[in-house]
Amino acid sequence: MNKIYLIFGSLLATQFVQGDEINSGDAAWILTSTALVLLMTLPGLALFYGGLVRSKNVLSVLMQCFTIACLMSVCWVVYGYSLAFKGDGLFIGDLSALFLNGVERDSISGTLPESVFITFQMTFAIITPALVVGAFAERMKFTAMCIFSVAWFTFVYLPACHMVWGGGYLGSIGVIDFAGGLVVHATCGIGALVAAIYLGQRNGFMKSPMPPHNRTMVMIGASMLWVGWFGFNAGSAVAADSSAGMAMLVTHISAATGALTWMAIEWIKSGKATMIGIATGMVAGLATITPASGSVGPAGALLIGFLAGLVCFYSTQAVKSYFKIDDSLDVFPVHGVGGILGIIMIAFVGNPDGFLGSGAAGISEDGAIAQLMIQLQGVIVISAYTAIVTYVILKLVSTVTDLRASEEDEDVGLDMSEHNEQGYSL
């Protein structure tokens, strides 16, 4: 079983080792985890993003997150699950489970009802394209967002999911990604960076203040993300066992450490600690521990959380201030950089016999450097593939409809120009 964990990642272990009967404890925990991960998108991410934008765009962000949840759910049932988890292709699955063909009430995946595994994985497919929304917030048209999200889910998320978790190429060479450093955070981060560059800066970027309009909403959304992330990481053990318990513990430790690190840097630099800063540091800590949460112990989580707060803070500064890229809500420097950092750190802190590791999903028997080379291969493949395909999707969508709202509509705000509604009636 440890070999299966090493090769395919713990999330897929039960997919390939079929159990004889359902374990009610495992099923109950994954049912709970599924609800927790959906809580991360609706309402967690929606409120977090909604609070970070200006008041004239808050409803548009909430609408985008809600719509993506509905779109991805339908796409997952129709063809997504099949392409991600069926078949033995190196880069994509097959359509043998189109419309969930063959999935019955009594179908079993490991120790779970297959329906539970399908729904749990659906919540990952929902939140990943929803995270990309933060890169083009306040300027992409709603029609373009819908088309882009479906295409991005189909041609970026599904191949990445299959390659890492569905028995594809990266899983077969030993890439470790317990809960989504590559599949979720690297893809959404790289996709966000490409989208932000392609669409260009918002009107007034670096010239006019664009402060978050509701910091209270940001705190509430961030708190829901923190709680929901326990389902994201501990649920990825696909069992109610010691791996899930350790994943939950290290997830919390990294989140707290990342938050404090970010807050401390901000406090030292400006003399003030802010709500936005500590909340963003928490998300960075969560994103970075995600791929390593099945490999590290408490000490390793402290180290990863500290590095997450430090590296993601300065990455955020570099993207906006140095490169002048308008990634509206810092998706790439927080999720992309954090997820990739976590993938790399597994090679150094994931040794099951070391002080920093937990022994759940250890590194290659050939040592840390060998595992590092494997992890880097995963980073390069996923990053390059995501960047190229995201650019192509944006280019093609732009031939069908305008990607960006007009300057006038952007000044009015997307709430009124795209939805004819307002977030607030005062």
**Which token pair is 388?**
């190229």
pLDDT at 361: 55
pLDDT over 60 at 18, yes or no = no
Structural domain contains residue 190 = yes
Number of structural domains, the chain?
A: 1
Question: CA-CA distance, 103 to 96, in Å (whole number)?
Answer: 11
pLDDT over 70 at 142, yes or no = yes
Structural domain contains residue 341 = yes
pLDDT over 70 at 12, yes or no = no
pLDDT over 90 at 166, yes or no = yes
Query: Mean pLDDT across the stretch 46-54?
Result: 98
pLDDT over 60 at 15, yes or no = no
**Which token pair is 245?**
């318990």
pLDDT at 365: 73
> From the CB of residue 99, how many other CB atoms can be counted at a distance below 10 Å?
12
Helix 368-400 / helix 158-165 crossing angle, nearest 10 deg: 160
**pTM of the complete model:** 0.94
Residue 141 sits in which domain range?
A: 12-419
Structural domain contains residue 182 = yes
Query: Mean pLDDT across the stretch 374-389?
Result: 98
Residue 404's φ and ψ, nearest 5 degrees, are -110, 145
- Residues β-bridged to residue 108: 113
pLDDT at 367: 81
For the chain, the three-class secondary structure string (H helix, E strand, C coil) is CHHHHHHHCHHHHHHHCCCCCCCHHHHHHHHHHHHHHHHHHHHHHHHHHHHHCCHHHHHHHHHHHHHHHHHHHHHHHHHHHHHHHCCCCCCCCCCCCHHHCCCCCCCEECCEEHHHHHHHHHHHHHHHHHHHHHHCCCCECHHHHHHHHHHHHHHHHHHHHHHHHCCCHHHHCCCCCCCCHHHHHHHHHHHHHHHHHHHCCCCCCCCCCCCCCCHHHHHHHHHHHHHHHHHHHHHHHCCCCHHHHHHHHHHHHHHHHHHHHHHHHHHHHHCCCCHHHHHHHHHHHHHHHHHHCCCECHHHHHHHHHHHHHHHHHHHHHHHHHCCCCCCCCHHHHHHHHHHHHHHHHHHHCCCCCCCECCCCCCCCCCHHHHHHHHHHHHHHHHHHHHHHHHHHHHHHHHHCCCECCHHHHHHCHHHHHHCCCCCCC
Alpha carbon 352 to chain centroid, angstroms? 26
Percent of the chain with pLDDT over 70: 93
At 53-97, the pLDDT tens digits run 999 999 999 999 999 999 999 999 999 999 999 999 999 999 999
Give the list of residues 6+ apart from residue 1 with CB closer than 8 angstroms, or none: 13, 17
**Which token pair is 310?**
């430090």
pLDDT at 304: 97
Q: Where is average pLDDT lowest: 17-26, 306-315, 412-421?
A: 17-26
pLDDT at 122: 98
User: Quick one: pLDDT band at residue 366, thresholds 50, 70, 90?
Assistant: confident
pLDDT at 299: 93
Structural domain contains residue 2 = no
pLDDT at 137: 97
Question: CA-CA distance, 219 to 48, in Å (whole number)?
Answer: 7
Whether residue 291 is preceded by a cis peptide bond, meaning omega within 30 degrees of 0, is: no
Structural domain contains residue 7 = no
Query: Mean pLDDT across the stretch 339-363?
Result: 78
**Which token pair is 126?**
């929902």
Question: CA-CA distance, 260 to 77, in Å (whole number)?
Answer: 40
Query: Mean pLDDT across the stretch 168-184?
Result: 96
Question: CA-CA distance, 345 to 292, in Å (whole number)?
Answer: 8
Structural domain contains residue 231 = yes
pLDDT at 350: 80
C-alpha distances out from residue 249 to 34, 306, 353, 361, Å: 18, 16, 19, 16
User: Quick one: pLDDT band at residue 360, thresholds 50, 70, 90?
Assistant: low
CB 205 within 8 A of CB 196: no
User: Quick one: pLDDT band at residue 16, thresholds 50, 70, 90?
Assistant: very low
User: Quick one: pLDDT band at residue 7, thresholds 50, 70, 90?
Assistant: very low
CATH number of residue 279's parent domain: 1.10.3430.10
Structural domain contains residue 424 = no
- Residues β-bridged to residue 113: 108
User: Quick one: pLDDT band at residue 351, thresholds 50, 70, 90?
Assistant: confident
User: Quick one: pLDDT band at residue 363, thresholds 50, 70, 90?
Assistant: confident
Q: Which of 16-30, 298-312, 350-364 has the highest mean pLDDT?
A: 298-312
At 179-223, the pLDDT tens digits run 999 999 999 999 999 999 999 999 999 999 999 999 999 999 999
Structural domain contains residue 19 = yes
Question: CA-CA distance, 410 to 164, in Å (whole number)?
Answer: 39
